[in-house]
Amino acid sequence: MKASVIGTDSFQSLHVELSPGERFYSEAGKMVRCSSGVDIEVTLQKKGGGFMGALKRLLSSDSFFYSRYTAQGTGTSEVVIAPTMMGNVRVLELKGDETWITSGGSYLASGPEITSEAKWQGLGAGLLSGESLMFVHNRGIGFLAVEAFGTIHEVDVNGEFVVDTGHLVAFESSLSFTVGKVGGSWIKSFFSGEGFVMNFKGTGKLLMQSHNGSSFGGLLGPLLPKRRS
Amino acid sequence: MNYQILAPGTFSALQVSLDPGDKILTEAGTMAWMDPSIQVKTSSGGLMAGLRRAVLRGDSFFQNEYTSTAQGGKITLVAGQPGEIKAMELRGAPVILERGAYLAHTPGVSVDAKFNGLKGFFAEGLFVVYATGEGTLFYNAYGDILEVDVQGDYIVDNGYAVAWESSLNYTVTRTGRKIRTFLFGDGLVIRFSGHGKVWVQSRSAFSLANFMHPFRAIESKNS
């Protein structure tokens, strides 16, 4: 199995090469194209999944379902998976001794031995951050692909670091965080328009996206006709 | 006539340079800027053809025809979505375009909407666009355009197919047999077989619309 990023900066996609019998998972409904020998099945189940797992995933802004791609036939098969927004894809190779936490629908795809479990990010933190209530904890051996809106920026945190909740893509579980405001009082934070931020602490890698999907949605949503429900 | 794709990539635009006697036919609403020597004539390409284009292809009713009264008059055409624009030299063999992928063509090419039969019923539109003849065809996409050389069988999600050579056979099917596949996940795919090229875009307008939907305001009950 070989997972790589293809395409130009603005429109990157994930390309996965499969040998016969190999399989991987993506968020449901994200496939662009594939070899004809690939069996595609939509499933609730993934390692560490199940119905409750699926329910929790919904609260993490990810899809309720996974698509499972299994290569059949004799030759090498390919599958291409695309993100929703314009922007980058990053492939992380997990060795088994770390956990990557993905936020707000940034989980795109993963190898068969990766478990992805939605967990409460702490009730208060979730409600206050205005983002999803759940983060997805990914661990195991294999690849994990994340999607982003815009460019992905990586930071090696050693000490403290502050990220706006809408710009977070993924981080290593060696980092702890609290949800807070951008200095000053809560009221000041509200009027500054900065909303909520995550204060990270510890040592580990952090991936951020240049653009905030909720801000873009907030810009376009009011310009669109009202919806019934 | 000659052309240049300006800023190829994310924000491509097509610039066409016309001498007197040259002509370019375009999708209505794609002209971005032009020299004053450029003249426009709007035609429906014959009533029936125009109707078919409008009603059944879902694109605009009218096709525009641009000419120039001076040497090297320039016109720039841009599609609605960010992404690539590409040119294709046609030499008789027809090419099929998905709805919305057509941008412009030179006079040697003829473009028509074609009923795709029931196999197109669940596809993006009932009709696809057939381009035949000899000349240059310009097409656009949302995202990058990737070329896939199909030898045998290949599957492309319905929302990502841009164009394909008519030498390929194709059917529109569901990805899985189970109902939940239809309701909740991957939708319809185009299964190609034979030998020929397929062009695929790297983003889906449908996915973006899905993402935006929750940001719309909700209509109040008594309005």
pLDDT of residue B82: 92
Q: For every residue of A51-107, which 3-state class applies, written as one string?
A: HHHHHHHHCCCCCCCEEEEEECCCCCEEEEECCCCCECEEEEEEEEEEEEEECCCCE
Average pLDDT, chain A: 85
For residue A38, list chain B residues with Cβ-Cβ distance below 8 A. Answer: 155
pLDDT of residue A120: 74
For residue A31, list chain B residues with Cβ-Cβ distance below 8 A. Answer: 157, 175, 186
B113, pLDDT greater than 90: no
Amino acid in the structure at residue B119: K
Give which of A135, A70, A77 is closest to A103, Cα–Cα. Answer: A135
pLDDT of residue B106: 95
Domain spanning B2-212: which superfamily?
Mitochondrial biogenesis AIM24 (3.60.160.10)
Phi-psi region of A189 (alpha: psi -120 to 50; beta: other; left: phi over 0): alpha
pLDDT of residue A69: 94
Q: What is the mean pLDDT of residues A55-65?
A: 65
User: Which residues, numbered 42 to 81 in chain B, qualify as contacts with chain A under a Cβ-Cβ cut-off of 8 Å?
Assistant: none
- Please say whether the beta carbons of B25 and B104 come within 8 A: yes
Q: pLDDT above 90 covers what percent of chain A?
A: 52
pLDDT band at B184 (very low <50, low <70, confident <90, very high): very low
pLDDT of residue A195: 62
Domain range A2-223, its CATH number among 2.40.50.660, 3.40.50.300, 3.30.450.20, 3.60.160.10: 3.60.160.10
Instruction: Specify the range with the lowest mean pLDDT, choosing from A10-19, A38-47, B122-131.
Output: B122-131
pLDDT of residue B51: 57
B23, pLDDT greater than 90: yes
B174, pLDDT greater than 80: no
Instruction: Specify the range with the lowest mean pLDDT, choosing from A145-149, B61-65, B202-206.
Output: B61-65
The residue extents of the domains of chain B are 2-212
Dihedrals phi, psi of A225, to nearest 5 degrees: -60, 150
- Minimal Cα distance from A65: which residue of B? B185
A32, pLDDT greater than 90: yes
Query: A34 and chain B: CB distance < 8 Å anywhere?
Result: yes
B63, pLDDT greater than 70: yes
Q: What is the mean pLDDT of residues A11-18?
A: 97
pLDDT band at A176 (very low <50, low <70, confident <90, very high): very high
Q: What token pair was written down for B201?
A: 């875009």
Interface mutation target, options B148, B155, B178, chain A, most CBs of A under 10 Å: B155
Q: What is the mean pLDDT of residues A181-199?
A: 63
A67, pLDDT greater than 80: yes
CA distances in angstroms from B219 to A67, A214, B214, listed in the order given: 34, 20, 12
